[in-house]
């Protein structure tokens, strides 16, 4: 069996990759390298048990911005890694360019160079579908590129750095919006917003229209796909990941109605036109003023005093920018998505997980 190095393995997607490798007996040994110690990464009980299994997994704390640290990681625990999956990247939005250059571009550049230097069989670079031009038409891998977030801009630069490493066997992966247990930045803010309207009893009115695409892929399918591409991907190719649900804002709102028993809708044409004239910063303030304090008050009411969850909608994400992704190319290699899109059931799993960790009040859904 293979030896696998998971960079950024304590994070949202990384922990699911590690779980997939363990549960499917896919790897002889896994090395997780992350600057966040797994003991404070809010893993589930099952994930924590896997990370503590020293026969299966070794953990090394490392800041991968430093090339010397990268080499030390690749040589750690005997080295000789067959596959490297790079999930080490900053995920917060609206950061300075210098932050993204250091934590995305520099990390990918150093890790790809090390993968070639140490003779890795295949290197998987996990990018983002935010590199595509923001249009409400499904983007295949050859669609025009026009990144619309700071993360997207840096991820595209990182992709090019990986491509530039001579002799490297690699695949690049561009997921749509990833959701599932431990997600904080994908689908979860919308779930939090829905819970606020259950608490207040008011109707939830969303920006833009029900047809604005919000394409998704479940994190367990991402983990499955990354391993699949280690063994079956074609070197030098790019693969999107997106389920068949073709989720849009209307479908998301229907899920929120089912989970929280609320009424939803969209701002009327006149209201939306008036709000749009005020600019994006006004829209950010309008949305967040309606949600931040009510969520904080509800958490205090139900005894939740410390939580990483927030209904905050970042300025980069509040623009009328669809996520529209054609994830079918990987299916041509024989891959099958197990989860066909977000449902009330699999979104409740996310909330149940946060309740168990003490981050979300069970009374709010």
CA distance 211 to 98: 35
Angle at 346 (CA atoms; ends 311, 325), nearest 5 degrees: 75
Entry pTM: 0.95
Mean pLDDT of 281-300: 86
Residue with tokens 């363990």: 22
Task: Report the pLDDT value the prediction gives residue 275, as an integer from 0 to 100.
Answer: 61
Query: pLDDT at residue 271 above 80?
Result: no
Task: Report the pLDDT value the prediction gives residue 288, as an integer from 0 to 100.
Answer: 83
Please list, in sequence order, all residues whose beta carbon lies within 8 angstroms of the beta carbon of residue 211, skipping any fewer than 6 positions away.
136, 248, 249, 250
User: What's the chain's average pLDDT?
Assistant: 94
pLDDT band at 317 (very low <50, low <70, confident <90, very high): confident
pLDDT tens-place string over residues 48-92: 999 999 999 999 999 998 888 999 999 999 999 999 999 998 888
Contact 341, 325 (CB under 8 A): no
Task: Report the pLDDT value the prediction gives residue 94, as an integer from 0 to 100.
Answer: 87
Contact 57, 18 (CB under 8 A): yes
pLDDT band at 320 (very low <50, low <70, confident <90, very high): confident
Q: SS3 of 62, please?
A: coil
Mean pLDDT of 189-194: 96
Query: pLDDT at residue 270 above 60?
Result: no
CA distance 84 to 94: 28
Task: Report the pLDDT value the prediction gives residue 273, as an integer from 0 to 100.
Answer: 64
Mean pLDDT of 153-171: 98
């Amino acid at each position: 069996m293979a030896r696998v190095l998971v960079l950024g393995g304590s994070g949202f997607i990384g922990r699911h990759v590690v779980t997939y490798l363990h549960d499917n007996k896919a790897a002889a040994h896994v090395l997780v390298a992350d600057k966040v110690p797994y003991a404070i990464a809010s893993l589930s009980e099952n994930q924590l048990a896997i990370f503590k299994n020293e026969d299966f997994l070794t953990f090394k704390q490392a800041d991968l911005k430093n090339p010397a640290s990268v080499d030390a990681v690749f040589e750690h625990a005997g080295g000789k890694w067959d596959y490297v999956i790079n999930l080490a990247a900053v995920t917060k939005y609206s950061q300075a360019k210098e932050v993204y250059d250091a934590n995305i571009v520099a990390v990918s550049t150093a890790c790809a160079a090390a993968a070639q230097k140490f003779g890795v069989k295949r290197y998987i670079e996990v990018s983002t579908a935010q590199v595509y031009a923001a249009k409400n038409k499904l983007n295949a891998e050859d669609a025009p590129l026009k990144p619309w977030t700071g993360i997207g801009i840096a991820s595209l630069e990182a992709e090019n750095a990986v491509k530039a490493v001579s002799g490297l066997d690699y695949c690049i992966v561009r997921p749509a919006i990833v959701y599932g247990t431990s997600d904080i930045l994908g689908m979860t803010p919308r779930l939090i917003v829905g819970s606020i309207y259950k608490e207040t009893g008011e109707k939830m009115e969303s920006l833009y229209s029900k047809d604005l695409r919000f394409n998704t892929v479940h994190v367990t399918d991402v983990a499955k796909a990354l391993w699949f591409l280690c063994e079956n991907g074609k070197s030098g190719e790019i693969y999107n990941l997106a389920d068949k649900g073709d989720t849009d804002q209307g479908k998301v709102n229907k899920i929120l109605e089912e989970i929280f028993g609320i009424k939803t809708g969209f701002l009327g044409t006149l209201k939306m036109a008036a709000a749009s004239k005020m600019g994006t910063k006004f829209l950010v303030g309008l949305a967040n003023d309606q949600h931040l304090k009510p969520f904080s008050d509800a958490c205090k009411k139900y005894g939740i005093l410390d939580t990483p969850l927030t209904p905050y909608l970042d300025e980069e994400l509040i623009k009328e920018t669809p996520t529209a992704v054609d994830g079918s190319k990987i299916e041509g290699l024989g891959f099958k998505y197990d989860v066909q899109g977000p449902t009330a059931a699999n979104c409740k799993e996310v909330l149940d997980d946060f309740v168990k960790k003490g981050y979300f009040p069970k009374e709010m859904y």
